[in-house]
Structure formats: C-alpha cells, structure tokens
C-alpha cells in the first residue's frame, strides 16, 4: 500500500490465499473511494472547481482529554460551494461530505452525488478533509505527524468524527444557518464515518448517507477472507483459466524466489525499478492490480476481462505462468 498510515484505521485484514498468510501483517483493507491516493502537490483544486472556497479551521488535536497537549491545534481544511444554496432564510439544507483516508481533492473530483443533488436540493455543499490526510496535518507536517505512536495516537475515527462535529457547528454559525438541516455523506470508510456521525451526533446531522460503507466488516464479524473471496470469484467467473493461472503464480513466485539468485531473476522478469529484496513486494503489487480491477471503476467486469484476456492469450504462445502474469503489469 502506498499509504503506510492507513494501517492505523481499525480495519480488518483481508488476504487472498494461503500463500499470503505469512504476510498478513502488512495487508490492509482497501477502502479509498478511488485508487488515487495523492494528487500531485501542484494540483490547484480551485482552478477546476471554481465555485469552491477553501478554508482552514483551527482544530483541536485531542477532543477527549484535558492534558496540556490536548489543546494543541492544527489547521484542518474544508471547502464550501454556496453557488446553489437557497440560503439560511429558506432553511435550505447543508450537504456535508465527510472525508475518508485521502486528500480532499480526491473527493472534490470524484463525488458525483454533490454535483447532482447540490443544485436540486439548493444545498450548501461542504467537503471536509480527514485529519492526517492531505493538508490537514497535525504537528506541522506529515513527517512529524506520522513520526511515532505518540503523534499517530490522535489518528482515529472517534477524533475524526469530533472534528467533523466542530467544523459543521462552525459552518452553521458562519453562514447563520441555524435552521438548515445537515445531511452527512461519505463513501467507503467515509461512509462508515457518516453513519457513525448520525448515531453519535444526532443533534448536528439530521441524516446520513453511507455509500459502499463496510459498516459491519470487522475482524471476527465476517468471513475472514471475505473481500478476497469476492475478488477471486469475479476472476473465476470471468475466466476459469485466468483464475487458475493467477492461483498457480503465487507458488511459482515463491519457488523462483527461493533460488540463490531468485530475487534477481524476479526483478529482471518484472523489470522492477530497483532489485527486489523480498518476493512479497511483487506479490503485493500483483494483488493490488487484481483487487483494484474488481473494486474500482464503474464497470469492473471490463477491467478484469482485459486482464484475463492478457493472461489467457499471451503473445508468442508463451506459456510459462510468470510470463502470463507479467502481461497484467
């Protein structure tokens, strides 16, 4: 995963096959609403979304204790689009997007619900960035914020919900919108937050929309490998042969890796930028490709079909399992 700090989210570990079992410590559920985790630093969201105004809120680091450190603050970013809002006098609603584990820009560009329903409901659209993501970094920088268990201890869902409560109360004051009902919206992990927000702060949000939110998907509450069963089944339904090739490939990667120059062979075969220091990295990469092909995009069947077509029909009739797998990269 490109997001080392997502491992702090209290999410279930999901693994594909017995071959992965020994590596589970570094596998996390993929919950982002899109594989894009980090836009380039130069992205100017306001350029492409000109109706948005960006603000920073002086957020309290720790909402739940009273030690001197708790009163530290950080700048939390949010954006408001008031173009279609019918105003406080009309008690027009507020749609609030609760950010998930991503930069705010990811939501601004990917959330069609607000573009569709904001104008229809004449709503004030608010988008809030999750703490420890994007520009909303405590301790002054990502480097400091992600430094160790002490600084990372403030990254949890309860704190994030309290952040959203504080900002939404602030927005209502700022827009004198006392009677405007708030509907919180989130997707994936953000959807879990939206549902929990409505439960925990019912006096702030009148309703919640939790889109594709794995609300009950915690370790020991669902089949352990449920996520990967779904991924596997989609591949199986697309092409039994493709599924079998992928299944075989994990063992083959291990077999090659165990040779004395095995990692070098794998590095060359997969044309890695730097020599592999462990076979897990190549498996992890392949796993991401397969899983994201199923999870993301409007029509995952097509993506999986494309991958399987490449695996099933290698050019030059190259039949060696790793040559076939290579075609997905």
Ligand X SMILES: *[C@@H]1O[C@H](CO)[C@@H](O)[C@H](O)[C@H]1NC(C)=O
Enumerate binding residues for ligand X (CB under 6 A).
Answer: 87, 89, 147-150
State the Rg of the chain over Cα: 23
d(CA 113, CA 115): 6
Q: Which of 224, 215, 229, 98 is nearest to 168 (CA)?
A: 98
CB 25 to ligand X: min, Å: 19
Task: Give the closest residue to 83 by CA, choosing from 51, 112, 115.
Answer: 51
Extract the tokens encoding 54: 């960006």
Q: How far apart are CB 229 and ligand X at their closest, in Å?
A: 37
Tell me the CA distances in angstroms from 81 to 106, 130, 164, 197, one per residue in order: 16, 18, 17, 22
Secondary structure string (H, E, C) spanning 132-168:
CCCCCCHHHCHHHHCCCHHHHCCCCHHHHHHHHHHHH
- The distance of closest approach from Cβ of residue 150 to ligand X in the complex, given in angstroms and rounded to an integer, is 4
Measured CA to CA, the distance from residue 16 to residue 8 in angstroms comes to: 21
Tokens encoding 35: 């594989």
Nearer to ligand X, 176 or 221 (CB): 176
Least Å distance, CB 90 to ligand X, is 8
Please report how close the Cβ of residue 157 comes to ligand X at its closest, in angstroms.
21
């Amino acid at each position: 995963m490109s997001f080392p700090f997502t491992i702090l989210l209290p999410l279930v570990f999901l693994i594909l096959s017995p071959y992965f079992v020994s590596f589970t410590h570094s596998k996390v559920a993929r919950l982002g609403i899109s594989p894009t985790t980090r836009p380039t630093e130069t992205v100017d969201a306001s350029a492409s979304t000109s109706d948005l105004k960006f603000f920073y809120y002086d957020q309290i680091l720790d909402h739940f204790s009273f030690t001197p450190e708790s009163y530290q603050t950080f700048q939390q970013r949010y954006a408001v689009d008031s173009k279609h809002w019918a105003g406080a006098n009309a008690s027009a609603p507020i749609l609030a997007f609760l950010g998930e584990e991503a930069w705010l820009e990811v939501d601004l560009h990917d959330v069609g619900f607000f573009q569709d329903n904001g104008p229809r409901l004449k709503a004030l659209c608010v988008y809030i960035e999750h703490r420890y993501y994007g520009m909303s970094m405590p301790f002054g920088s990502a480097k400091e914020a992600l430094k160790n268990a002490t600084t990372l201890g403030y990254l949890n869902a309860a704190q994030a919900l309290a952040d959203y409560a504080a900002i939404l109360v602030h927005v209502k004051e700022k827009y004198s919108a006392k009677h405007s009902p708030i509907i919180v919206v989130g997707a994936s992990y953000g959807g879990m937050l939206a549902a929990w927000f409505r439960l925990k702060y019912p006096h702030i949000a009148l309703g919640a929309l939790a889109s594709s939110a794995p609300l009950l998907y915690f370790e020991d509450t669902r089949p352990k490998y449920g996520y990967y069963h779904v991924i596997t089944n989609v591949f199986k339904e697309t092409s039994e042969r493709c599924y079998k090739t992928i299944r075989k490939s994990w063992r083959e990667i291990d077999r090659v890796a165990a040779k004395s120059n095995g990692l070098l062979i794998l590095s060359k075969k997969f044309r890695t930028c730097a020599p592999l220091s462990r076979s897990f990295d190549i498996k992890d990469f392949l796993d991401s490709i397969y899983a994201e092909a199923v999870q993301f995009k409007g029509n995952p069947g097509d993506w999986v079909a494309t991958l399987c077509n490449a695996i099933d029909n290698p050019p030059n009739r190259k039949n060696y399992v790793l040559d076939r797998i290579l075609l997905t990269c």
